A and B are shown apart, each in its own frame.
Chain A
Amino acid sequence: MVHIRVDGTAYEVREGLTLLQALDDLGVLMKGVDIPHYCWHPKLSIDGSCRMCQVEVEGMPKLQIACGTPVRDGMIIHTRSERALAAREGVMELLLVNHPLDCPICDQAGECKLQDYAFEYGQAHSRTREPRRALKKRVELGSTIILDQERCILCRRCVRFCREVSATNELAVTQRGDRSTIETFPGKPLENDYSMNVADLCPVGALTTRDFRFKTRVWSLEEVPGICTGCSRGCNVHVGVVDHEVRRYTPRRNDEVNGTWLCDQGRMTYREIGAPDRITEPAVRGNSGQLVGATLDRAIGRAVELIREAVQKEGPGVVAALASAHATNEDLAALRGLLRALGSETHAAPVLTGSSDALLVRPEKAANAEGARVAGFGEPGLLFDKIRGGGVRVLIVLGHDVIHEQFLGTPEPLAALDGVILLDTHRSRLEQVADVVIPGRHLAEKGGSVTNHAGLVQAVPAALEPTFEAIAEAQVLARFADALDVSLTDEPERKREVD
C-alpha cells in the first residue's frame, strides 16, 4: 500500500495501480474525487488519449494523465488546480471543435459526458466559425449498433472492448488526424454476443443501439436497479422505465457478477416484461370446459377448492408443485411452505439449459436456478413419473418451462390431473390443461431476491407496476394458505436459521 494525497485528502491505495485505477479501487472516483475522463474505463486497457483526466502532481513539471500515472508513495495530487482546469477547458474546446452539437436529436443527450463535462469544465462560447467536419451520420456497424461518425470523440473504448472483452476485433479506427473514424473491416460487421455494450461504453451519442434509438429521451427514464433474468449469472442491470413500460436494460456495475457488461441476449429480455403475450387476467375453467375470465378472488377460491378436495379425497401426498427457476426466493419459499403445511413433499423445478460462454452467459436459462435448487426444488424427472403413474391429482405450476422440449414437450401428460393451477406471467399451451390461471409478476414488477449460479443472493426492488391487476406469486400462495387455513411460516429449517 502507498499513501497519496488528493486535493488535501489522504488515501491509502494499492501499489502498482495508476491514479484513476487506485481511486476507482477505493470506490471514490466520481464519488467524491471527480476526475473527468473519456477514454479510461475500469474494465478496459488504458488508452491515455483523451487527455481529459490531466491533473497536477507535485514535483512533476507537466500535467499528468491520471489514467496512466502510477501512484507513488507520498504523491500529492491536485485535481482542480488552475492549470488542470485550464487544460480541461482546452480539451473540451477541442473536442467540440468538430462536434455537430446536435443534442436536440441525440439519444445520448441527458446522459452525455460531452454535455456534462462541457457544462462543468468547458467554456460557454465557441471560437470556431468554419464548417465542422462532415462525416457519415448513420453507419450500420452490425445488426444492433448504429454509428454517427460526426459525434464520435475517438476515445476508442468500443475498439478496445471488441479487442479485449468480446475478443472479436470488429472495430478499428481508420484514417488519421481529424479524419479518423471508427469503422468495421470490410465484410466483417459488428456481430457478437456482447455487441450492445459498445453503446453503453460510448461516452457520447456516437454509438446507439437500434433497439433504443430515437425511442426515449433519457431524462424521462426512471432507472431502477434490477437483475437480468436471462440466465443464472444474475447480471445487475438498470431497469429503465417510462410510464409503466421498460424501455431498456443497461448494465449496472457489479465486479463480483458482471463487471460492467451485459450480454445482448440477456439485455433484450426486458422485452418479456411488456410483451403482448402476458397473462393479464385470472381465468377459471368453466362448466363448458373453456377457460373463462374471473376475478382474482374467484380464481383463488377455485384453486383452493381443487386442493382441498384432493387432500380430503386422497390425502396431502397427491398435491404437487412444479416451481419455476424464474421465481424469486420469496415465491419459492411460499410454495415450499404451502406444500409443507399441507403435508406434501412432492415438488421440483425444471431448469431450461442452453449455450454458455466464458464471459457471462451461463447454461441455466433462469435467474434463480440455484435458488430453486437450494430451496429444495430438484430435477423434475421423479415428479413426472409420479404424474404418469397417477400419484398426483392436483399440480400447482409456476411458469411454463415444463412444456419445453427439454421436459414434457406438451401439456398432454397433465391433462389427466384433477386440477392444474397455473401461476404464470406469459401465455403458453399450458393453459390448455389449466383449471385455474392466475397472472404472475415479472421480477422487475415484484422485486425480491434471486440466487445466482455462484450462490450470491441478490435482492432488487420492484421497478414498475404492471399495467394490469396482478399480485406477486408469493402473495397468491399466501392467499391459498389463508383460505386453506394453514400457515406458510411453519417451516422448521427456516426457523432454525432465524434463531
Chain B
Amino acid sequence: MGHRVPRVTQYLTEHFADEGFATLSGYRARGGYETARRVLRDQSPGDVIRMLKKAGLQGRGGAGFDAGTKWSFMPEPHHGPNYLVCNADESEPGSFKDRLLMTRGPHQLLEGILIPAFATGAAMTFLYVRGEYAEPARILRRAIDEATAEGMLGSNVLGTGFAHQVVLVRGAGAYICGEETGLLESLEGKKGQPRRKPPYPAECGAFGRPTTVNNVETFCHVPHIFERGVDWFRSMGTDQSPGTTLFGVSGHVERPGVYELPLGTRLDEIIFEHAGGVPGGRKLKAAIPGGVSMPLLPAGHLDVPMAGEFLRERGSSLGTGGVIVMDETTCMVRVGCVISEFFRDESCGQCTQCREGTGFVHKLFLRIERGAGTAADIDVLEDVAGKMEGATICAFADAAAWPVQGLLRHFRSEFIEHVHTGKCPLPDGFEL
C-alpha cells in the first residue's frame, strides 16, 4: 500500500488569498516564471517529458491519464505547427476548482502552459474557457496581455528564443465541449461533437495538427514539479496518484468550497473535517466523489482514500474531484431524475445509445419517482444503462450510465420502495 500519511502542502493555492498574485507583478514577486525560464533555457523537450513521467502527474480533468505519457505522444513539428489546448471548459456538475485556479492564479496557469508547450513543440496554446466563465475569461485575457507585453509569451518567451502564443477562446455553454475532441470541434467553429478515434489528437487534433489537450489544474501543477523536483512532488499523495488536488465540495455540508489536499485524503475526512460535515445534525446518506458522472458511494463507504486506485475498488472513480454530499433528506430516485435530465439535455446526439438512452433513462427515473413504475422498470433501467456503457464515440454515455449504476447498486431498495408504495416517501423537494 502506497498510501502515506499526507503532509499538507497547499502549493497550488498557497498564495490565493493574496489578490496581487493574479497580476504579473504579484506573481513575479513570488518567483513566478523563473521555473519556466530555467526549464526552457537549460532543458531539452525530451528531458522535460522524462521528468514529468517520473513525477507521475495524472491528468486532473477526469480521466486521470498520465500527463507525461500524453505529451510523449506528440510528434516533432512537421510541415506545420503543433498545438496545445488548455481545457478550461469545467462543465462537470459539482466541479468548480478550475475557476478558482483561473481567477486567483492566471499566471501560474500560463507558466504551467509554457513548459509542456516547449516539451511538445507547440507553437500556440488555445485556452478554451467555458462560456459561462465570464470573469475567469476576463482575468485570463488580462493575464495573457500582460504576459505578452512583458515577453513571457510571444516570439521570444522569457528571452529563451522559444516562441509561443496563447489564444483565449470562449465556449458557448455545452457540457460536451469539455470532452477533448468535442472541444476541438467547437474550437474549430463547428458544433461540439466528439470525434471518432483513431486518429487521436496527438496525430490529428486542432485544425488537423498534432494537439495535446490538458486540464487547467494539470498545467498548474507543472511549474511546482519543475521548481521543487520529482521527489518533493511524490512525497505527497499516493504512489500511483502523487501530488495534491483541488477537491470542490458542494451539497449538504457546512462549508462548501475548494480544498487543496493530497490525493489519497479520505473522503469522509474531506466531508467532515474540511467541509464541516452535514448541517443541522442530519445524517449523511451518500456522496459523489468526483462530479455527477461518477457513481455515488453510500455513507458506509466513505472511508475511502480519494485516489483513482482506491475509488475503483469501490466501483467509482476520482473524476474531477468534485465531491457532492447528500444528507438523509435526499431521495435517490430524485437524484437519478436530476442527473439523468442533465445528461439527456447535454448529449450531443451523435451516437444512438447516448442520444436515445439518456432520454429513455430519464423517462424511467421520472416514471419511478412519480409512483408509476414497476419492478420491471428497475431492471430496464439497469439494462439500458448497461447498453449505453462503453459503446459510443466518447465517454459521455459512460458518464451518463455510471451514476445510474451507482444508484442501483447502493440504493436499489429505495427504488423498490417507490415501486411498491406507488409514491416517493420523501416530501416534494422541487418540481420535476
Contacts and interface: CB of A to CB of B under 8 A. Distances in A.
Contacts of A213: none
Given A49-B352, A130-B367, A98 B391 contact: no
Interface in B167-222: 174, 176, 191, 196, 198
Interface string B345-373: 11111111111111110010001000000
A178 B391 contact: no
Contact of B353 (A62, A68, A91, A130): A91
A94 B387 contact: yes
Nearest to A91: B352
B367 A129 contact: yes
A422 B345 CA distance: 68
Contact of B346 (A68, A153, A176): A176
Given A49-B393, A51-B392, A94 B353 contact: yes
A391 interface: no
Contacts of B353: 51, 90-91, 94
A98 B392 contact: no
B344 interface: yes
B390 interface: yes
B380 interface: yes
B373 to A, nearest CB: 10
B387 A90 contact: yes
Nearest to A69: B198
Nearest to B174: A176
Contacts of A176: 174, 176, 345-349
- Interface size grouping (class) on chain B: 20 to 34
Interface SS majority for chain A = loop
Interface centre among B359, B367, B393 (most CB of A within 10 A): B359
A140 to B, nearest CB: 23
Contacts of B354: 177
Contacts of A46: 196
A87 B391 contact: yes
Given A63-B391, A177-B359, A50 B352 contact: yes
A128 interface: yes
B355 A178 contact: yes
A178 B358 contact: yes
Contact of A94 (B345, B352, B376): B352
A62 to B, nearest CB: 5
Contact of A90 (B174, B191, B391): B391
Contacts of A153: 352
A94 B198 contact: no
Contacts of A461: none
Interface string A37-54: 000000000111111101
Closest 5 CB pairs of A and B: A90-B387, A180-B349, A177-B347, A94-B356, A48-B196
21 contacts: A48-B393, A51-B351, A51-B353, A51-B391, A62-B390, A63-B391, A87-B391, A90-B391, A94-B352, A94-B356, A94-B357, A95-B352, A97-B359, A97-B360, A130-B363, A133-B359, A177-B345, A177-B347, A178-B347, A178-B358, A179-B349
Interface of A: 46-52, 54, 62-63, 68, 70, 86-87, 90-91, 93-95, 97-98, 127-130, 133, 153-154, 172-173, 175-180
